[in-house]
Amino acid sequence: MYSRLLTPRWMLLHLLVAALFVATFFLGYWQLTKAEAGGGAVNWSYALQWPLYGFMGLWFYLRMVRIELHRHPDDDEPGNAVVLYQRPRIDTTGDPELAAYNAYLAELNERALGQRSAGNGR
């Protein structure tokens, strides 16, 4: 179950999130030193915001990990019953103008598919 989180992609994400989480605390400390040196209210607010950004990012990342762990492993795999083309259903009941328009669209679709298959056969 946890082996999905040990792929190279996830390991890179783990390292990136850990580095960014630590970096937010260094940035908060840097803003705190500027605020203590007389930087003003903006520096004090950033000194508090940077660690909050780190915790917020960590919270989103943990949610992403939780979703990955609860995801079915075969969700990304294509199914066996792949339908490549279905003939469009033409509505002939009701409005005759609508039926004529649908027939026209079906004819255009047939032409386009015929040209595509003829172009692939070369």
- The rounded distance, in Å, linking the Cα atoms of 28 and 25 is 5
Distances (CA, A) of 66 to 2, 8, 50, 69: 10, 18, 24, 5
> What mean pLDDT do residues 99-113 have?
83
Q: Considering only 36-40, 49-53, 66-70, 77-81, which range has the smallest mean pLDDT?
A: 77-81
Tell me which of 1 and 104 has the higher pLDDT: 104
Tell me which of 6 and 21 has the higher pLDDT: 21
> Does this model's pTM top 0.85?
no
> What mean pLDDT do residues 50-74 have?
90
> What mean pLDDT do residues 19-45 have?
92
Tell me which of 116 and 60 has the higher pLDDT: 60
Sequential DSSP letters for 50-83: HHHHHHHHHHHHHHHHHHHHHS-GGGGSPPS---
pLDDT of residue 119: 57
